[in-house]
Chains A and B, each alone.
Chain A
Amino acid sequence: MEQVSLGTMFWMTVAAFLTFCIFSFLYRDNPFYRFAEHLVVGISAGYWIAILYHTSLTDLWIDPLVASVTAFGTAEGSVAGKTGMLIVNITPGAIGVLMFSRFFKKTSWISRWPIAYYLGVSAGVALPLYLQGFVIRQVAANMMDPRSIFGMIFAGGGAADFFQGIGEIIIIIGSICGLAYFYFSAEHKGVFGGAAKLGIWILMIGFGATFGYTVMARISLLIGRLNYLIEWVRALNGFFGS
């Protein structure tokens, strides 16, 4: 590893110290952990402000607003057009500013207006698209040709085909039974109860797979931090060893 500068070494050590502060929670809650936790909350909020200001507010609101104001000083375009653009550019910010009314008890109800706008737009776009993506497309994927499924199972094409055919039946029946389990408007007994029971079995196998993958995810994150500490020790070694 190439030798790092004093500044980089200092900051790498800060990062390693903070890593140990957080890991110390494994032993028990302690002031080092709490310090690091509170520090990062503040750093994170300040970082958000910087990002929101530089990448979003200036780009989408301040710059177009300034441009539409300065446009009045030029000869191009009609006054009506310029006024229209000014209104279009000023309105979203004006609605957004209403959010700050939350900080005052008497006026906090005004903050419902921007929330209503956001909620209305989000709900409106989500309504058809979530039904299409999560319901219609998923149900359509279950509409498999039974001839091809039974062909795979009974045509003697080998074990792979046989198990694939069985698997596709598992998808069709499993997803219907899984939905039956989530349907609570009818009592889970008789044929329906049997379907719901099969459904919960399938769901448990699915959750088991998710658990297995979650273990992999968590271990990966730990490996990431351990890799960093190894890198830090190597950097220290290179820095003081040379």
Chain B
Amino acid sequence: MRREVPLTIVFVCGAFMAFQYFVPHHVSATIYQYALNWTIIIGIFTLTVGIGSLINLHYDRISKRKERWQYSIVTLVALAYMTILGLLSPNALQDPKSLLMTMYFYVLSPVQATMFALLAFFIASAAYRAFRAKTLLATLLMLSAVIVMLGRVFIGDFLTGWLPEGMRFSDVARYILDYPNTAAKRAIYIGVGLGVGVTTLKIILGIERTWLGGGK
């Protein structure tokens, strides 16, 4: 019951959805459409469980006075406040002057954007401290990176403008992107495609069961 039922569900759903691709009969198409919509609805609950786990985690940190528990209060108060703003007002997502919109554009947005902006500093530091031409492979990677970096901005052609067309940084960068880069990414994507194919087949057939987690 605890393992057999989910394994049967996976097999039936997976086999039907894969089979449906090859047999687009209107009956199977209708079931397919319902099945997809059901997945979205189930997905809503799955995401809500994620939020429940977040609340659990922070409540646990506060109740057990774990290290830096005070910050968990900030998280939970913010969560409660935003939830109230969102659920109590039916127009919260449509009125550009709603408090929910204000919180989104002036609190959520700047913090998220700045967190990612930090990566500019970290990548500069990594370039300085870790990007070493120790081997032929590392040198190839570095040369390709430098050519693409220069070739995609005006400075590349400013430096090599004296060379004939076709040999400037922008041309070489273009060539790298169009050919060796395409070859490399194609190899990776073919590998990914085969990997997805094999893994999904293993899931449908019940060979891959790690998603069931531990326990009985």
Contacts and interface: CB of A to CB of B under 8 A. Distances in A.
A227 to B, nearest CB: 10
Interface of B: 2-3, 5-7, 9-22, 34-49, 51-56, 68, 71-72, 74-83, 85-87, 90, 92-93, 100, 102-123, 127, 136-138, 140-149, 152, 166, 173, 175-194, 196-197, 199-201, 203-204, 211-213, 215-216
A112 B184 contact: no
21 contacts: A15-B106, A19-B111, A21-B111, A37-B111, A39-B78, A39-B107, A40-B112, A46-B85, A50-B82, A53-B87, A56-B44, A119-B10, A120-B11, A123-B199, A126-B196, A138-B193, A174-B180, A178-B184, A179-B187, A206-B181, A216-B149
Contact of B46 (A35, A103, A118, A127): A118
Contacts of A173: 183
A57 interface: yes
A133 B186 CA distance: 11
The interface residues of chain A, by DSSP majority, are classed as: helix
Interface residues of A, number: 122
Given A206-B180, A209-B177, A52 B44 contact: yes
Contact of B175 (A21, A122, A163, A208): A163
Contact of A124 (B16, B55, B148): B16
Nearest to B2: A109
A174 B183 contact: yes
Given A131-B197, A206-B184, A208-B148, A114 B83 contact: no
Contact of A212 (B45, B110, B147, B199): B147
A75 interface: no
Nearest to B200: A123
Nearest to A168: B179
Query: What are the 7 tightest A-B residue pairs by CB atom distance, in nearest-first order?
Result: A50-B86, A46-B82, A178-B187, A124-B17, A206-B184, A208-B144, A134-B193
A232 to B, nearest CB: 10
Contacts of A99: 42, 45-46, 48-49
A240 interface: no
A61 interface: yes
A207 interface: yes
Contact of B86 (A54, A205, A211): A54
Contacts of A230: none
Contacts of A219: 120
A199 B76 contact: no
Contacts of B140: 201, 204-205, 208
Contacts of A18: 107, 110-111, 114
Interface SS of B by simple majority: helix
Nearest to B189: A134
A102 interface: yes
A212 B137 contact: no
A134 B192 CA distance: 7
A96 B44 contact: yes
A72 interface: no
Contacts of B149: 212, 215-216
Contacts of A14: 106-107
Nearest to B104: A47
Nearest to B121: A26
Contacts of B203: 119-120, 123
A121 B17 contact: yes
Given A127-B197, A131-B193, A212-B145, A49 B87 contact: yes
Interface in A193-242: 199-216, 218-219, 221-222, 224-225, 228
A60 B43 CA distance: 11
B183 to A, nearest CB: 3
Given A15-B107, A100-B52, A204-B137, A54 B113 contact: no
A112 B56 CA distance: 20
A109 B92 CA distance: 37
Contacts of A19: 110-111, 113-114
B15 to A, nearest CB: 7
Interface string A95-117: 11101101100001101111111
